[in-house]
Amino acid sequence: MVGDDERWSCVSVYVAPEVVTRKLGYEAEFHEPVVTAPALRAELLRLALSPVDATTPHLVQRLLDAVFTQAPLGPGRFSPEVAQAHSWLSGDAGRESLEPLSIGQVAAQLGWSRETFTRRFTQATGTPPYAWHLQERLRRARRLLRQGLSVGAAMSLTNPMNVVYWGGAAAAVSGALGEEPSWQSMAVFFIGFFAASLLWCWICAGAIALFRRALPARGVRAIEAVCGLSLVGLGIWLAASI
């Protein structure tokens, strides 16, 4: 413990993400901002107090070897109440809700005051509840984006309507020119088309983001419901017209 009148310093060791990924064999997502590992602490202190020279990279390599092959993380440190709050916040982060997180409600469920809950959660996790909740939502969003990108690409590439559409677009270019277009003409057409499509997508996404911030949560949900019903109606109409 450092007193108010005592001098102190902080030494940080930054390891390249690809080094950690190579050691683990997969991309790391650290769900625990605080790690209980006495061996790791001792190695870090020894490394921080050692002078920086040509051997420092080798010391970092030895530290990584110790962490990923030998050093246990130790037992869980959460109290039952904090563990329950951790579970609630994790479940709330997975909900598609525009409502802000209510720390008061979580604290009330535990029978604590807001200040007591915030202090004990921060002591246990190293992160305030609001910050932890935001980080968890960002982690979930990144995972969903990675999953959705591959699924969306596969659906787009194998969609028969897309194949027919792009085949018709190529034929339309030929009809507009009155002759078989060169590959340069086709490249100019499709590059311009894709650029315009991306620009329009960004404009629409920006407009949607502005509306979501300006409108109340109920208004956003009502608009989403209307859009969903409209899509269902359009699908039924297209199916009936085939």
pTM over 0.75: no
Band (29; pLDDT cuts 50, 70, 90): low
What confidence tens digit (pLDDT) does each residue in 91-115 have? 654 455 545 567 788 888 888 888 8
CA distances from 165 to 159, 192, 238 (A): 10, 16, 16
Residue 33 predicted with pLDDT over 60:
no
Question: What confidence score (pLDDT) does residue 160 get?
Answer: 74
* Alpha carbons 35 and 84: distance in angstroms, whole number: 19
CB burial string 12-47: b at 16+ within 10 A, e below: eeeeeeeebeeeeeeeeeeeeeeeeeeebeebbeeb
What confidence tens digit (pLDDT) does each residue in 209-219 have? 888 888 887 88
Backbone φ, ψ for residue 71 (5° rounding): -75, 115
* Alpha carbons 15 and 83: distance in angstroms, whole number: 30
Q: Are 122 and 103 in contact (CB under 8 A)?
A: no
Band (229; pLDDT cuts 50, 70, 90): very high
| Mean pLDDT over the full length of the chain | 73
What confidence tens digit (pLDDT) does each residue in 52-82 have? 666 666 666 766 666 655 444 444 456 777 7
Band (191; pLDDT cuts 50, 70, 90): confident
The predicted model gives 35-48 an average pLDDT of: 69
Tokens of 67: 């962490």
Per-domain boundaries in the chain: 17-69, 80-136, 159-233
Query: Domain 80-136, what fold?
Result: Arc Repressor Mutant, subunit A (1.10.10)
